[in-house]
Chains A and B, each alone.
Chain A
């Protein structure tokens, strides 16, 4: 299990390849990547991500441990950035490895659902005119109930 909370960008291809290559006996690797959406209209757009150092790492570890308990997984990787990001930048990624694909797919979805509303990150969208904290959505909270 590897969890990284970092300011620096990451290379999705490299991370995914390294993750896949270090597995033994795993037939499936699933990755998910979150990207800063361009709000369009040529806005000068940035996304600032604040987090709670210390709690963030603990919360991510707890979420990953829970996923490892529920599914048969060979490995989990979570990378989440903080600081100022631009449109098209990669915010975060998760990767899961399992013998068969169902575990890897479901665990990746579980990780994402919990990471969205149980890991202490807060996003602020900055355009040329304004800066707004992104509000949590009811759907994100509801998504936890299916697990």
Chain B
């Protein structure tokens, strides 16, 4: 599964993409796994209210299942327009 980061989440983690070989059941499980990696991940995921998540390019929630997911993305609230 590919995990993508955008905007300040990408900057804080230091790269745009990770490949995860484990099978976290939910987004929250994936977040916990990433938080445990290194301090910069823990910092990026410190406040989940400041983050949004998309599963396979659809906006989703942190309690959503990752069953069958190929791509998960984390980013701050969007500022288009």
Contacts and interface: CB of A to CB of B under 8 A. Distances in A.
Contacts, number: 68
Contact of A122 (B4, B6, B54, B57): B6
A122 B81 contact: no
What's the interface size class on B, roughly? 10 to 19
Given A52-B73, A54-B57, A115 B80 contact: yes
**Residue in A91, A92, A136 with the greatest tally of chain B CB atoms within 10 Å:** A136
Nearest to A82: B80
Given A52-B4, A52-B54, A58-B57, A122 B78 contact: yes
Interface residues of A, number: 25
A72 interface: no
Interface in B40-81: 54, 57-59, 73, 75-81
Contact of B79 (A52, A55, A122): A122
Contact of B73 (A55, A91, A119, A133): A55
A120 B65 CA distance: 21
